[in-house]
Amino acid sequence: MADIEPFRVVEMLTRAGELQAAGVDVVHMEAGEPDFPTLPQVVAAAKAALDAGHTSYSPAAGIPQLREALSRWYRQQHNLDVPAERIMITPGGSGALLLMSALLVNPGQGILMTDPGYPCNRHFLRLVEGRAQLVPVSPAQRFQLTASVAEQYWRDSTVGVMVASPSNPTGTALTTDEMQALLALCQARGGNLIVDEIYQDLVFGDAAASVLGMTDQAFVLNSFSKYFGMTGWRLGWMVAPEQAIPALEKLAQNLFISMSTPTQYAALAAFEPEALAVLEQRKKEYAQRRNYLLKELRAIGFGIEAEPVGAFYIYANIRGLTQLDSKDFCLQLLEEHGIAITPGADFGSHLASEHVRFAFTTSLEKLQEAVRRLREMFC
Amino acid sequence: MADIEPFRVVEMLTRAGELQAAGVDVVHMEAGEPDFPTLPQVVAAAKAALDAGHTSYSPAAGIPQLREALSRWYRQQHNLDVPAERIMITPGGSGALLLMSALLVNPGQGILMTDPGYPCNRHFLRLVEGRAQLVPVSPAQRFQLTASVAEQYWRDSTVGVMVASPSNPTGTALTTDEMQALLALCQARGGNLIVDEIYQDLVFGDAAASVLGMTDQAFVLNSFSKYFGMTGWRLGWMVAPEQAIPALEKLAQNLFISMSTPTQYAALAAFEPEALAVLEQRKKEYAQRRNYLLKELRAIGFGIEAEPVGAFYIYANIRGLTQLDSKDFCLQLLEEHGIAITPGADFGSHLASEHVRFAFTTSLEKLQEAVRRLREMFC
């Protein structure tokens, strides 16, 4: 238990809530949760599923209709051939992380992953007595793990590499060449490549390269939370090599029994053309916010060493503005200026004390208010 | 992975589905899933929650309203004092098992549990590199684990005892004295007592003794699936000692982020007086089915060595009727007579080849049809 850390963002959320209750107008840029509501199509489909009595256990791998809907979506939206049989529905991206960790990692073994990175990843490995083998990644590499660096850190106990593209907290993505090189390294070493593609559909320029177009042997984690705006429903999925599916299904039977059945029927509606059109419109709005915030934060003096190409985060260096530790800086911003952001320590330790994460999961008007307050502080 | 077994009941369900698709009239007595639909009050509350926009992440320990509703229900229905702060909402009983295993068991350590018992329990321990220390329990002990037997099996690596009362697959419960003795043993040895109370509210005669009335130091697992009829929603809860809550909350943050938010709001409606009245009526119907099936199975020649006092299962010895292994017997019943039940092997290995589980999760009319077919076979 001592190895498992609480999220600092939760403390931040709690304190922000207290301040708000006390009348402070807080600008929330701390949570990785879309401010857009779940699509009305999905809500309507959930109600229809309840009326139709879809409230019993369903297959551990997910309802066939949803696995097939994802397979069609991969073909139509991404021009990728991903058979439904290779898609496991999971209880959130968290469920996919649990299955992946349980399947691939024996005690003492480890997976290379970036510092900074999504903090829960390492705790799933710790749960199964494996270890996250953290690789400090620098702004020069856009905070991403490259094959040459991964090779340096590869040990006898390493069984794979995990990357997120685009990544949380930085929003940077791997190029096709970089992903290919990582894949080649994993294949040469007999390890597995695991790619978190949770932000894959929130890329603002040219689409980031999905590993699914390069191999059928990678493990891909995804979720309905971010692009599809379904955080509180807890639904995700995983694409796995065909030969891994029977073992994953056995694990899912034992660990989950079933996913939420009405939620799976609800998610089917997210693939309707009108629903997808709304999601693409939302993506444009994220892009606007990103462009605005990037320019303003730079003008104020934050160091944006690697520009985000996707997700809804900007990872910023504060050393041009303050010598405070980023945790103290975040507390000061919240207490004195009503701006809630997340300190780097939530994502690891490498360069954490000089970085903070801004989440642009709030309206442009709110972002403008935050910028106004920051200008007052620093300009 | 090799240590994790698939459910045989799933194969049985699959084959039963195939037969049904081919026109066979199958009587389903294999699944531990209520045949009653989710309460209309709960469905209506789910819709209202969706309309109100309750689709965001919610606190990792559960929404305060649901923790408080459970606390009130414990007081009003069970005359038990269980503060809301000690109640963690979980993604199904499965989620509670994951939290408990992660919190209490280090690699190489184990928890004593019964064989036969709910098969997933041991796999959660295996996941965290702990071990289920299976104790063969006999009909003479009503297939329950008593303190004197637990004491014999206690080893240096034992960190607790887990019992289910009433139990799956037998429906038998521990008496107050038996539970007190187990508690005393655990306290004397510095171990934890974990009680699966998932069927606690499906006891047909006098209520089974909840360990919550005896101590505030036990871990209690429960679920909205069975008594509350919400299987496919995946919602459960856990009552833990106060001092364990911060660690459980930290684990839940990392492993689940949040439970389904709309589902938690939906579950609030299950505690309305009219809803509880319907659930109590359903319990009476289960009792009728139990009484009918118990009498008829005995008349046919099944050996019911321990009568179920709760849940919706009868665990029956087949040796008075056949020398077949129970797996083959179940297959024969399904293939030749269209009756789907579960072989003992799904619940362990002790006496498994001579036992089968009947689930009376189908209407009295269907049970009568199954009895008619069984009479044709054996009488």
Collect all residues of chain B within an 8 Å Cβ-Cβ radius of residue A257: 92, 94, 120, 234
Query: The tokens of A208 are what?
Result: 């980031």
Judged by a CB distance cut-off of 8 A, whether residue B206 touches chain A is no
Residues 105-144 of A with CB under 8 A from B: 107, 119-120, 123-124, 127-129
In this predicted structure, the answer to whether residue B52 has a pLDDT above a threshold of 80 is yes
CA dist B255 and A94 (Å) reads: 6
Work out the pLDDT band at B56, boundaries 50, 70, 90. very high
pLDDT tens digits, B156-167: 999 999 999 999
Residue with tokens 């300009």: A379
The predicted structure's pLDDT at residue B206: 82
CA distances from B85 to B70, B256, B272, B335 (A): 11, 19, 21, 51
Q: Is this complex's ipTM strictly greater than 0.90? A: yes
Work out the pLDDT band at B10, boundaries 50, 70, 90. confident
Query: The tokens of B36 are what?
Result: 């009653």
The predicted structure's pLDDT at residue A318: 98
The predicted structure's pLDDT at residue A27: 96
Collect all residues of chain A within an 8 Å Cβ-Cβ radius of residue B107: 107, 129
CB atoms within 10 A of CB B131: 18
Task: Indicate the residue type of B107.
Answer: P
pLDDT tens digits, B286-340: 999 999 999 999 999 999 999 999 999 999 999 999 999 999 999 999 999 999 9
pTM: 0.96
Collect all residues of chain A within an 8 Å Cβ-Cβ radius of residue B102: 127
CB atoms within 10 A of CB A52: 10
Q: Is it true that the peptide bond before B169 is cis, omega within 30 degrees of 0?
A: yes
Q: Is A108 within 8 Å of A114 (Cβ atoms)?
A: no
CA A260 to chain centroid: 21
| CB spacing of B123 vs A255 below 8 angstroms | yes
The predicted structure's pLDDT at residue A182: 98
Q: Which one of A124, A260, A265, A362 makes the best mutation probe of the B interface by having the most chain B beta carbons within 10 Å?
A: A260
Range with the largest mean pLDDT of A6-10, B9-13, B206-210, B220-224: B220-224
The predicted structure's pLDDT at residue B320: 97
| CB spacing of A254 vs B51 below 8 angstroms | no
The predicted structure's pLDDT at residue A205: 87
Judged by a CB distance cut-off of 8 A, whether residue B5 touches chain A is yes
Task: Indicate the residue type of B77.
Answer: Q
Q: Is A312 within 8 Å of A304 (Cβ atoms)?
A: no
CA dist B273 and B76 (Å) reads: 11
Exposure b/e, B93-130, CB count within 10 A at least 16 = b: bbbbbbbbbbbbbeeebbbbbbbbbbbbbbbbbbbbbb
SS3 B136: strand
Q: Is it true that the peptide bond before A83 is cis, omega within 30 degrees of 0?
A: no
> What domains sit in chain B, N to C, each tagged with a CATH number?
8-38+275-378 (3.90.1150.10), 40-272 (3.40.640.10)
| CB spacing of A234 vs B260 below 8 angstroms | yes
Collect all residues of chain B within an 8 Å Cβ-Cβ radius of residue A52: none
The predicted structure's pLDDT at residue B216: 98
Residue among B193, B269, B263 nearest B231 (CA)? B263
Lowest-confidence region among A207-216, A284-293, B2-11, B354-363: B2-11
CB-CB: which of B33, B53, B55 is closest to A233? Answer: B55
CA distances from A164 to A79, A196, A220, B198, B255 (A): 21, 4, 10, 39, 18
The predicted structure's pLDDT at residue B182: 98
CB-CB: which of A119, A120, A250 is closest to B6? Answer: A250
Strand segments, DSSP code E, in B224-322 are: 236-239, 313-317
CA dist A4 and B252 (Å) reads: 11
Q: Is A32 within 8 Å of A359 (Cβ atoms)?
A: yes
Bridge partners of A90, per DSSP, are A236
Collect all residues of chain B within an 8 Å Cβ-Cβ radius of residue A224: none
The predicted structure's pLDDT at residue B140: 94
Query: Sheet holding B158-164: strands in order across?
Result: B87-90, B236-239, B219-223, B192-196, B158-164, B110-115, B131-136
Q: What's the per-residue H, E or C state across chain A?
A: CCCCCCCHHHHHHHHHHHHHHCCCCCEECCCCCCCCCCCHHHHHHHHHHHHCCCCCCCCCCCCHHHHHHHHHHHHHHHCCCCCHHHEEEECHHHHHHHHHHHHHCCCCCEEEEEECCCCHHHHHHHHCCCEEEEEECCHHHCCCCCHHHHHHHCCCCEEEEEEECCCCCCCCCCCHHHHHHHHHHHHHHCCEEEEECCCCCCECCCCCCCHHHCCCCCEEEEECCCCCCCHHHCCEEEECCHHHHHHHHHHHHHHCCCCCHHHHHHHHHHHCHHHHHHHHHHHHHHHHHHHHHHHHHHHHCCECCCCCCECCEEEEECCCCCCCCHHHHHHHHHHHHCEECEEHHHHCCCCHHHEEEEECCCCHHHHHHHHHHHHHHHC
Collect all residues of chain A within an 8 Å Cβ-Cβ radius of residue B94: 255-257
Distance from CA of B6 to the nearest CA of A (A): 5
The predicted structure's pLDDT at residue B370: 98
Residue among A189, A190, A211 nearest A200 (CA)? A211
Query: The tokens of B303 are what?
Result: 């050996």
CA dist B198 and A152 (Å) reads: 50
CA dist B333 and B341 (Å) reads: 8
Taking only the tens of pLDDT, chain A with its 379 residues reads 777 777 777 777 788 888 999 999 999 999 899 999 999 999 999 999 999 999 999 999 999 999 999 999 999 999 999 999 999 999 999 999 999 999 999 999 999 999 999 989 999 999 999 999 999 999 999 999 999 999 999 999 999 999 999 999 999 999 999 999 999 999 999 999 999 999 999 999 887 789 999 999 999 999 999 999 999 999 999 999 999 999 999 999 999 999 999 999 999 999 999 999 999 999 999 999 999 999 999 999 999 999 999 999 999 999 999 999 999 999 999 999 999 999 999 999 999 999 999 999 999 999 999 999 999 999 8
Q: What is the mean pLDDT of residues B350-358?
A: 98
Q: Which one of A123, A127, A230 makes the best mutation probe of the B interface by having the most chain B beta carbons within 10 Å?
A: A127
CB-CB: which of B50, B56, B103 is closest to A1? Answer: B103
Judged by a CB distance cut-off of 8 A, whether residue A269 touches chain B is no
Q: What is the mean pLDDT of residues B140-147?
A: 97
Radius of gyration of chain B (CA): 20
The predicted structure's pLDDT at residue B143: 98
A7-11 — which CB contacts under 8 Å span 24+ positions? A7/A119, A7/A346, A7/B253, A7/B254, A8/A327, A8/A342, A8/A343, A8/A345, A8/A346, A9/A342, A9/A346, A10/B60, A10/B253
Q: What is the mean pLDDT of chain B?
A: 95
User: Could you tell me which chain B residue has the CA closest to the CA of A101?
Assistant: B127
Residue among B251, B257, B51 nearest A231 (CA)? B257
SS3 B3: coil
In this predicted structure, the answer to whether residue B6 has a pLDDT above a threshold of 80 is no
CA dist B120 and A253 (Å) reads: 9
The predicted structure's pLDDT at residue A59: 92
Judged by a CB distance cut-off of 8 A, whether residue B356 touches chain A is no
Q: Is A302 within 8 Å of A333 (Cβ atoms)?
A: no
Beta-sheet pairing, B158-164 with B192-196: parallel
Task: Indicate the residue type of B148.
Answer: S
Query: The tokens of B113 are what?
Result: 């549990």
What torsion do the CA atoms of A286, A288, A292, A298 make, to the nearest 10 degrees?
60
Ramachandran category for residue B110: left, alpha or beta (phi over 0 → left; psi -120 to 50 → alpha): beta
CA distances from A311 to A169, A208, B193 (A): 9, 11, 45
Q: Is B98 within 8 Å of B256 (Cβ atoms)?
A: no
Query: The tokens of B70 are what?
Result: 């459970």
Distance from CA of B118 to the nearest CA of A (A): 10
CA dist A262 and B196 (Å) reads: 26
